[in-house]
């Protein structure tokens, strides 16, 4: 397990994890298999049950890894610090390891406002590390120009089916830690892909392990979720697998569709609602 979230190799995702009983098991499996951090968000609608699950595991003497959550876009217009305090209450934490701005607002004024408040939240001791998610270069540069502070983390979509090398290059140059969401990509298709199946044989691994290694090859921390103990173990078992550069290139060339699953066709994002 990493010393802190900035050194993480792999995170455990909790999107769609809504069963209070199952989530205790899911988090236990993640801890027992040495996942480096647990990732959640307000919009996942599960912070309270995660807080309860973490309390249960603490009482069972489990060492809790770093926790990361996110501020949903509509809250950028409101009091971000108060919103964070509300989320901390649900998570049963006084200080969280990492908080990200979940997705950029269409109006950069609100992105800057929210970023300034996250900086203040860090000074107040509510969070150890602050960052963004799904932000591009121009958006991040605006945050820096207005505050003099770069995000410590940028969680972006990255998989064999969607790899933005320009985005990766920029974040690495700015020493922004990259986390990869949906690193398995179009998993149902990928599991049947003959090219991936043959390459997985070469590395004596499964297709999911190959896809995780692909994401890791760009110096990212993939975030993986599963409701199966077997898959939780499988997904981290080959976390130190290193692919040949030629194979990374081949995977990118054959599978990269250059199209985000967010269906983002422009440089701006739509307005978001607080309705869940």
Contact at 8 Å (CB) between 143 and 166?
no
209 within a domain of the structure (yes/no): no
**83 lies in some domain:** yes
- pLDDT at residue number 86: 98
Distance separating alpha carbons of residues 73 and 83, to the nearest angstrom: 11
Distance (Å, whole) CA 213 – CA 92? 33
| Residue 200 included in any domain | no
Which residues does 165 contact at the CB level (< 8 Å), separation at least 6? none
Residue 234 lies in a domain: no
| CATH number for 62 | 3.20.20.100
pLDDT at 272: 45
Closest CA to 165 of 71, 47, 258, 39: 258
pLDDT value for 257: 85
Output the pLDDT for position 260: 80
Q: How far apart are the first and last CA of the chain?
A: 33
* Sign of the CA dihedral with 30 first, then 32, 34, and 36 last: positive
Name the stretches of the chain with pLDDT < 70: 1, 261-276
Q: Is residue 231 part of a domain?
A: no
Question: Which distant-in-sequence residues (6+ apart) come within 8 Å of 228 by Cβ?
Answer: none
Tell me which of 35, 44, 110, 170 is the catalytic residue. Answer: 44
Q: How many distinct structural domains can be found in the chain?
A: 1
**Active-site annotation holds for 110:** no
Whether 105 has a binding-site annotation, put simply, is: no
Which pLDDT does position 262 carry in this prediction?
61
Contact 27, 38 (CB under 8 A): yes
pLDDT at 157: 96
Structural domain containing residue 61: 5-185+219-225
pLDDT of res. 265: 36
**Structural domain contains residue 272:** no
Q: In the prediction, which pLDDT does 200 show?
A: 99
Residue 83 burial by CB count (10 A; 0-12/13-18/19+): exposed, middle or buried?
Answer: buried
pTM of the full structure: 0.93
Q: Which of 37, 6, 3 is nearest to 225 (CA)?
A: 37
The answer to whether the CB of 99 falls within 8 A of the CB of 67 is no
Q: Alpha-carbon distance 25 to 7, whole Å?
A: 25
Q: Does residue 123 lie in a domain region?
A: yes
Mean pLDDT of the chain: 94
Q: Is residue 201 part of a domain?
A: no
Strands (E), 92-249: 96-101, 127-133, 153-157, 177-181, 220-224
């Amino acid at each position: 397990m990493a010393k802190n979230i900035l050194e993480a190799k792999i995170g455990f995702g909790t999107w769609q994890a809504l069963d209070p009983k199952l989530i205790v098991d899911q988090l236990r499996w993640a801890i027992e298999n040495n996942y480096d951090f647990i990732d959640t968000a307000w919009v996942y609608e599960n912070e309270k049950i995660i807080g309860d699950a973490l309390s249960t595991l603490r009482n069972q003497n489990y060492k809790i890894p770093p926790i990361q959550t996110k501020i949903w876009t509509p809250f950028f217009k409101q009091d971000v610090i108060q919103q964070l305090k509300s989320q901390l209450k649900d998570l049963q934490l006084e200080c969280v390891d990492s908080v990200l701005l979940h997705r950029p607002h269409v109006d950069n004024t609100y992105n800057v406002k929210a970023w300034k408040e996250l900086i203040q939240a860090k000074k107040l001791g509510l969070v150890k590390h602050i960052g963004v998610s799904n932000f591009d270069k121009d958006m991040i540069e605006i945050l820096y120009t207005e505050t003099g502070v770069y995000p410590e983390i940028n969680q972006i979509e990255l998989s064999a089916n969607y790899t933005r090398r320009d985005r990766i290059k920029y974040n690495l140059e700015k020493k922004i830690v990259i986390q990869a969401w949906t690193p398995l990509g179009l998993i149902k298709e990928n599991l049947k892909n003959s090219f991936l199946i043959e390459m997985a044989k070469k590395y004596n691994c499964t297709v999911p392990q190959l896809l995780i290694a692909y994401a890791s090859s760009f110096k990212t921390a993939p975030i993986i979720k599963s409701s199966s103990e077997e898959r939780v173990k499988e997904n981290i078992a080959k976390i130190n697998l290193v692919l040949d550069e030629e194979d990374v290139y081949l995977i990118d060339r054959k599978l990269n569709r250059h199209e985000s699953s967010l269906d983002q066709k422009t440089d701006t994002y739509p307005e978001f609602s607080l309705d869940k």
